[in-house]
Structure 1
Amino acid sequence: MKGVNIAVAANNGRTPLHSASLNGHIEVVKLLLTTLGVETNRADNHGRTALFFASRFGYNNVVQALLAEGRIDPGIKDWYRSASLFAAVRNGHFEVVELFLAAGGTTIEGQDGFVWSLFWWARRTGNIRVLPSLRY
């Protein structure tokens, strides 16, 4: 990665880590996580982190790598007060929900900016498979 500025962000605030996570490029994510100076919790212009995008699109391996990295804060919320776990539940990514719960440090309580809970989102989107996991 010699000569590449990994801290540069596009006009939308997204960094290379955002882009790699958003597109499920696990090898690029792993490389960036080992690079000095990468900001793992940096949010784009909508307050969304690399973890949010990986969760939203169900990239289990990317979510797992980001959570295992140790510097990731799963509680960061976007402009709509949705954390990464909300993105996983809304989009029915059961395996991602399980990764969050296994990693700890994530609360299933609370509501997003629309005052809707994880339970509400699971029912609303028909992703009832995640409901038993959210009960504990």
Structure 2
Amino acid sequence: GRPPIHSVAWTGHVTMGHRLLEASAVNIDLACHQGATALSIASQEGHSNIVRMLLEKGANPNHIDKYGRSPVKVA
């Protein structure tokens, strides 16, 4: 299974994102096996509200995945 923060990034579920980020200690920059973070995933999927939320919570916009892509490149 995927980490909950990644599921929020894939689906763009804003309410769940707020609940998750407010209620628990989430590793916001947790990377999957391909090196993608929630910010990368939300950027790729076009979920601008999730991107904004993650950036406001301190997500690293400069993280590079194993393919050399940053969240800006995949957007």
Q: Distance in 1 between matches of 2:24 and 2:46?
A: 27
Q: If each structure's helix is expressed as a fraction of its own residues, which one has the higher value?
A: 2
Give TM-score, length-normalised by structure 2: 0.92
Paired letter, 1:75:
N
The gaps in structure 2 that reach 5 residues or longer are none
Paired letter, 1:87:
V
Large movers: runs of 4+ above 4 Å: none
Aligned length: 75
The structure that has the greater radius of gyration is 1
Higher relative contact order (CA 8 A, sep 6+): 2
1:32 deviation in Å? 1.1
1:26 deviation in Å? 0.9
- RMSD value, Cα: 1.0
The gaps in structure 1 that reach 5 residues or longer are 1-9, 89-136
Match of 2:61 among 74, 81, 84: 74
Q: Distance in 2 between matches of 1:35 and 1:76?
A: 24
Alignment of 1:13-52 (within 5 A): 14-52=2-40
Give TM-score, length-normalised by structure 1: 0.53
Identity %: 33
Q: Distance in 1 between matches of 2:74 and 2:35?
A: 13
